[in-house]
Every structure is written in C-alpha cells, then in structure tokens.
Amino acid sequence: MSARDAAVHSDGGSALSGPSSGSTLEIIGEFLSARGRSAATAASLSIVSEGTNANTGLTHVRLGQQVNGLSVYGTYVKATLNSDGELIHLIELLADPSSRVTTTSIDADDALRAALNRNFPTYGGSLSQGAVSGNETEFSNDGFFYENPTATKVAAPLAGGALQEAYLVVAWSDADNLLYHTLVGSGGQILNNELRTNTDSYSIFPGRPPRDATEETANAPVH
C-alpha cells in the first residue's frame, strides 16, 4: 500500500476548521485542500458511513475513494465534526487519483481461483459465475461456503504511487467459519490477504437514517 496516511487532531480543544454550514464532503474537502491535497483528491471522495452521537453531538464520518469508477483499496478518511460544522479530528490514507490505473491481466474467475488456492487449498469444488452488479461478480455456492463468494474489481495502490486494477475476493467457509478478504493483482499475485475472525471487532453506526445513529462496537461475523 503506497498511499500516504496522516492524522490531525485539535490542540487544546480548538477546532481544525471554522464553523460551517456546508456538507460533510465540502468541509473535509476544503480542509484537505488547505493541507496540500489536490482538487482531484477531494473530488474522488464519497461518504461510506456517517452518524451523529446523540449525547455528544459529534458526527463521525468515514469516506472512501474512487478512481475511474473503481473503489481504491485500503484508502479512507475518518473524521469527527462538532455540531457547528467544525472539524476536530481527521485521519486519512489516500492515493493520488491522477495516477494512471493500469489494467489487470486476469478476470474475476482467475482472481477467485487464486484466492481459494491460497486460503482453502483442500477445496476441490467448482464454482460458476452468477450475478454481476457493477464491479462485483457473485459466484455459485456448493455448500462449502456460508455465503456466495464475490470478486470485486478495485484499484490497488502500488509502490511509487501507481494504481493497478485488482480484485477483492471475499470468501467465507461454512464449516470452519473462516472469512478471508484477499486482494488479487495482475497475474494472480496475492497483494494482500486478511483473515477476519470472530474475535475481531469494529465500530458501527446502527439505525436508520445514519445521522440518527450512535456509534457502537460490534463483533465480527459468527454463524
């Protein structure tokens, strides 16, 4: 992962930006621009999750990044704003959206095969392509998997700032409850492999709509 990461905190209770009635994206985009990020970087961001704590009035938001219609793997902005629209905390890991995205030499089937060979070497089944939605391809399930495996085309940051098409394969075995997120690059190279176990935890904003939700901690999937 070659994207830069940086954390910015308020000092002594002071805000990082002044009061604003602008949108979350506008506030964060203006702040990033003031810190030297390009207009293209701000334009590549979109909201993944957003929720306001009813007790503190603080809004917690996570942004993702897209380039050429592809989500950029591993990139994000996590920020906290107060009720006046002031930014009080921000951490980001972003790629340069002006970098050319090189095409991959594999397809979703190849990516799935590479991921299964890596994580489930004894699996001897055969999966066929099912529904395709946008950049995501879903595969059939022969009973080995808890859910249908998927392969989603993304942009992967590489050394030197380049971006390459890759596939994020999600496969979750039923019997042993192993959930893998595997990033497969050109030629079937495994760029990143993450095992998500039932001991993991993460922050969520439950409820509808997200702005009315309070942040909670949830355990990773267990079935």
Structure tokens at 1: 């992962």
pLDDT given for residue 216 in this prediction: 43
- Which of 77, 11, 12 has the alpha carbon at shortest distance from 44? 77
- Report the C-alpha gap between 149 and 130 in whole angstroms: 10
* pTM: predicted TM-score of the whole model, two decimal places: 0.80
Q: Are 168 and 151 in contact (CB under 8 A)?
A: yes
**From residue 83, how far is each of 9, 22, 48, 128, 212 by CA, in Å?**
17, 12, 20, 50, 13
Walk along the chain (223 residues) and give the pLDDT tens digit of each residue.
445 456 665 555 678 999 999 999 999 999 999 999 999 999 999 999 999 999 999 999 999 999 999 999 999 999 999 999 999 999 999 999 988 899 999 999 999 999 999 999 999 888 999 999 999 999 999 899 999 999 999 999 988 888 999 999 999 999 889 999 999 999 999 999 999 865 444 333 333 333 333 434 444 455 5
Reduced to 3 states, what is the DSSP secondary structure of residue 190?
A: strand
pLDDT given for residue 161 in this prediction: 83
- Report the C-alpha gap between 183 and 156 in whole angstroms: 8
In terms of residues, how long is the chain?
Answer: 223
* Cβ-proximal residues to 133 (8 Å cutoff; 6+ apart), any chain: none
pLDDT given for residue 15 in this prediction: 87
pLDDT given for residue 217 in this prediction: 40
pLDDT given for residue 186 in this prediction: 92
Reduced to 3 states, what is the DSSP secondary structure of residue 196?
A: strand
pLDDT given for residue 160 in this prediction: 80
- Which of 166, 155, 9 has the alpha carbon at shortest distance from 75? 155
pLDDT given for residue 205 in this prediction: 32
- Which of 36, 11, 15 has the alpha carbon at shortest distance from 80? 15
